[in-house]
Amino acid sequence: MQTKKQSFVESLANVTVGFLVTIISLHIIFPILGIENHSGKNTLITIYLTVLSILRNYLLRRYFNKKQSHDEK
């Protein structure tokens, strides 16, 4: 069973990797597709979605951790 801190750290690490992959991918994919690349806007949108991902990931991890703990009793 994970502690809340462990769940948060794991969620944060997972989403940080996703954030970096997204930023790099946007800089590669947009020019290929002919989409104008606005780095500031892309970064802002990515940060917003990253915060949502951290919350989603953490809450789901805690839910399943609690469910597993409850099922073991």
Domain locations in the chain as residue ranges:
4-72
Confidence label for 34 from pLDDT (cuts 50, 70 and 90)? very high
Please choose, from the candidates 60, 40, 38, the residue with its C-alpha nearest in 3D space to the C-alpha of residue 48.
Answer: 40
Q: Which residue has the tokens 């805690």?
A: 62
Distance CA(69)–CA(22), nearest Å, equals 34
pTM exceeds 0.85: no
Judge whether residue 14 has pLDDT over 90: no
What's the pLDDT band for 33 if we cut at 50, 70, 90?
very high
pLDDT of residue 69: 75
